[in-house]
Amino acid sequence: MLPQIFTIADLHARYAEGSLTPLALVDEVLQRIAASTDKAVWISRVSDAALRDAARALMKAGSPSANQPLWGIPFAVKDNIDCAGLDTTAACPSFAYRPQEDAAVVARLRAAGALLIGKTNLDQFATGLNGTRSPYGAPRSVFDSRYISGGSSSGSAVSVAAGQVCFSLGTDTAGSGRVPASFNNLIGIKPTKGLLPAHGVVPACRSLDCVTVFAATTRDADQVRRIAQGDDVRDPYARTAPQRPLPVSGFRFAVLPAAQREFYGDNEAALLYTESIERLKGLGGVAVDFDYTPFREAASLLYSGGFVAERLEPLREFIHGRAAEMDATVYRIISGASRFTAADLFADMTTLTALRRKTDAAWTQFDLMLLPTSPTTYRVDEMQADPVQLNSRLGLYTNFVNLLDCCAVAVPAGFRKNGLPFGVSLIAPAFADDALAVLAERLHRSGAFGLGIDRDATILESTMSIPVHSDDRIVIAVVGAHLTGMPLNHELTGPGGTLVRKARTTKNYRFYVLPNTTPKKPGLIYAPDAEGPGIELELWSLPAAAFGQFVARIPSPLGIGKLKLEDGTEASGFLCEAYAVVGAQEITELGGWRAYLANAAAK
């Protein structure tokens, strides 16, 4: 029997043991959709017969493989993203068209073996954060049908949280890939702008739009993101760049000071935010209060000035005379953008540039942010009675992210007493997606809040790890005087080095105190027959140019070689020539340089 919420690893394990087939899974998915009381989740679906045919085709072709890592995995797509054979409506029936090809991201996922189930509901033209602005109905929070599901990617989030699909695609301009995750106990990955190409996506704000991923676990969402990402010449805003590393231990994370924490009276949400801060500190982070003011001012530009005109640009011809065919709030927002001039936009661009100088300065004080994803939530009737003001509150901590070119991951962070979930977001500068996902996964596991609607589900241990290098940075393992707080650590921090994580070698190393060195240094020797405790070390990421200069200064008898780590990986790091340790004091049994210094100081 399948669990209430299924993951990629779980489905592939069942496929491998023969207890499940894609065809049987399709039947289960169809039964779950039919049994659901929330009929506003889906706008259109692949026909039952076509789904079964697709499942049979997968079974005939093979099984999960490196070429098809999503083989037999069911997914949903927000209905502002093209899928060949299904109408794209953007939740506006008179706008609907039938695309001849998949959007770039959908094509990549299908090529990886994923099974498209259908198109999901959204706030019309992706304009809103609440999920009630659609003629196809308002999807509800899976925990209480009186409450909003969050938008604009409402149906995409609910389809995953309810256990109807394994993952889904959404879009995010102001928070639409994060707020619905928060309201449904999910992971929501909002990648760096342009990392996932938007070819085949109906624009909301073309220069800010991001394709996003919802899943029950960070591991699943990140795997999908990696498969879907990559350049596409058909998207003028698509881009690629080397990934930016983040430290795993000793990382500094920004938190809202008490005076700037706004939860609109939701005291339980405020408490859950505080608890999330403590959990991230427990994972090795250092909390840093920061001034949210310039970020909040940047966020306000998205809807209150010239930037909103970008929502009008792709729909100028369509909306003329269409007020009766559109959601009233969406029509007012988009048509109202016509009052702004090019001069207004340029003035706001100047304001944003000035704010970016302030926010760039703030980023020098921390590596990432931990913010509430949304300060509170509302009932559907409350939102419909006050659709603009309450919607704007939902984006208090999300609207700035794309304007200031950040990536983000929304992470479940607990439940209120009434059973409604709360979420936080980890936010970092552009192209820190790989590293941010690892920290998000660890934060998620630390809370044990279940998966989607299943609060009792266990989040399995993950093999996710922060990459040890990128195209323009190289990681080096240090074991002695270059460790954090040691005399030569400045040789790493000075040229822009960052701590990636702590680690330990395998047992096959011997460790010595080198004589006649200033400052005192150790020597690490590879000894295949050794049975030691392993030697503690730190992995530091250096810019490639700085790495070359650093290595050139290393004095004999030290050098750089490959170290074997106890987690099965390798890293370039300090090794010593064997002649230099003849007669030297061996300290292998202490397991590291810090332990040696502490032991020597105690004598």
Residues 195/150, Cβ–Cβ less than 8 Å: no
Starting at the edge strand found earlier in the chain, the sheet holding 558-564 runs 498-504, 536-543, 473-478, 570-576, 558-564
Query: How many other CB atoms are there within 10 angstroms of residue 396's CB atom?
Result: 22
What's the Rg (C-alpha) of the chain?
26
Is residue 176 part of the annotated active site? The answer reads yes
Marked catalytic residue, from 176, 276, 425, 572: 176
The torsion defined by the Cα of 260, 425, 363 and 225, in degrees rounded to 10, comes to: -160
Marked catalytic residue, from 134, 152, 153, 425: 152
Tokens of 418: 């009434």
Query: How many other CB atoms are there within 10 angstroms of residue 39's CB atom?
Result: 11
In the block, residue with structure tokens 């006649």: 516
Q: Give the Cα separation of 208 and 123 in Å (integer).
A: 17
Residue of 158, 174, 169, 253 whose CA lies nearest to 213? 169
- Nearest 5°: phi and psi at 224? -65, -45
Beta bridge pairs of residue 190: 408
DSSP one-letter string for 423-460: EEEEEEETT-HHHHHHHHHHHHHHH---BTTBTT----
- C-alpha 453: how far from its chain's center? 20
Q: Give the Cα separation of 51 and 38 in Å (integer).
A: 21
Buried b (16+ CB within 10 A) or exposed e, 241-270: eebbbbbbbebebbbbeeeebbbeebebbb
H-type helices in 68-209, by residue range? 104-111, 154-161, 179-183
Marked catalytic residue, from 78, 190, 193, 521: 78
Is residue 152 part of the annotated active site? The answer reads yes
Residue of 166, 158, 173 whose CA lies nearest to 209? 173
Is residue 145 part of the annotated active site? The answer reads no
Residues with a catalytic annotation lie at 78, 152, 176
